[in-house]
Amino acid sequence: MAERIQRIHVADDGSEHATWILHYALRMARHLDPPRVQVLHVPNGGASLPAVHRARQESFAERLGVELVFRDLPATPDVAAALSDHVRPGAEDVVLVGFRAHRHGRGLALGTGGHALLERHDHAVLAMRVVEPGNLGLPRVAALGLSESPGLVERLAPAAQLLAPDLEELWLLHVTEVQRRFLGALSYPRLRELERHGLETLERCEATLRRTVELPPRVERCTDVAEAWPTQLVMDAHRAHAHLLLLGASDHLLPRRFSLSNPLEAVLRNAACDVAVFRAASPGA
């Protein structure tokens, strides 16, 4: 089981999106000892963060009783390396970093700092795209996208531990993907069998989570069978009125080249709530 996260870092490029992610970091840090967030400023064109920007961030932190520490990183083309160099390797540190807020004709994940950090295993990474800035980093309802992947729920546990104290409701979501040609021919007994299997998976996941995470008062499960799990997952998250959808990263999930069919791109593009992708530090990091 992954260790509990003790320190939170946020990659800040001075954008509004980074500010939205900082809200999440501050909320999570409130439950740490000490309640502190390190802001790693990644220079955009060499300039450091404007003072007004820092002042704004400090006021957020002050409201929530969290200490904010700023560190300006040297300008470098390899942002992920620069961030990783300034974070202690291991499972106790997590870096919150953003995907793109806006496509600009490109993908939302590919080529971003979030994508690059997720491919590294030095420390835990929580890469996010925020589409509900009005929540101010306070997701009262969260959804976890789960599968049969061995150890997935254990790997997600550290992120769940950070989010759980502020949650009122947690949804565990599972989608069994069936190709359209077979979905068309799928008999209803078989459909029910797949749904039942999905529910059993979720029951096991919930039991595993409860061993290490203090879950909110209400935990619900939802399983579906669909031809495309990314779009079904975002639909289920919407039905659950989730403010945040949390996924576990894997090499399969991360895009290698720009493709609208990449599952992570599909989730980020279609989700009606904030999306966070978590990768724990690899053992021994």
Binding interface with other proteins (CB under 8 A): 15-17, 19, 30, 52-53, 56, 59-60, 63-65, 101-104, 131-136, 138, 140, 166, 168, 180-181, 183-189, 192, 218, 220-222, 226, 228, 231, 234-235, 238-239, 241, 270, 272-273
Q: What is the dihedral of CA 120, 122, 123, 125, to 10 degrees?
A: -10
Q: How far is the CB of 119 from other proteins (least distance, A)?
A: 24
**167 neighbors 140 (Cβ within 8 angstroms):** yes
* H or E element in which residue 145 lies: strand 141-146
The least distance separating other proteins from the CB of residue 13, rounded to whole angstroms, comes to 9
Closer by beta carbon to other proteins, 257 or else 260: 260
Shortest Å, Cβ 239 to other proteins:
5
Q: CB-wise, 231 or 250, nearer to other proteins? A: 231
Q: In what order do the strands lie in the sheet with 218-226?
A: 67-72, 36-41, 7-12, 90-98, 123-129, 274-279, 244-248, 141-146, 169-177, 218-226
Is the CB of 26 or the CB of 87 nearer to other proteins? Answer: 26
Nearest distance, CB of residue 37 and other proteins, angstroms: 15
Give the residue among 118, 123, 112, 148 at the shortest CA–CA distance from 6: 123
Nearer to other proteins, 14 or 158 (CB): 14
Cα distance from N-terminal residue to C-terminal residue, the chain: 14
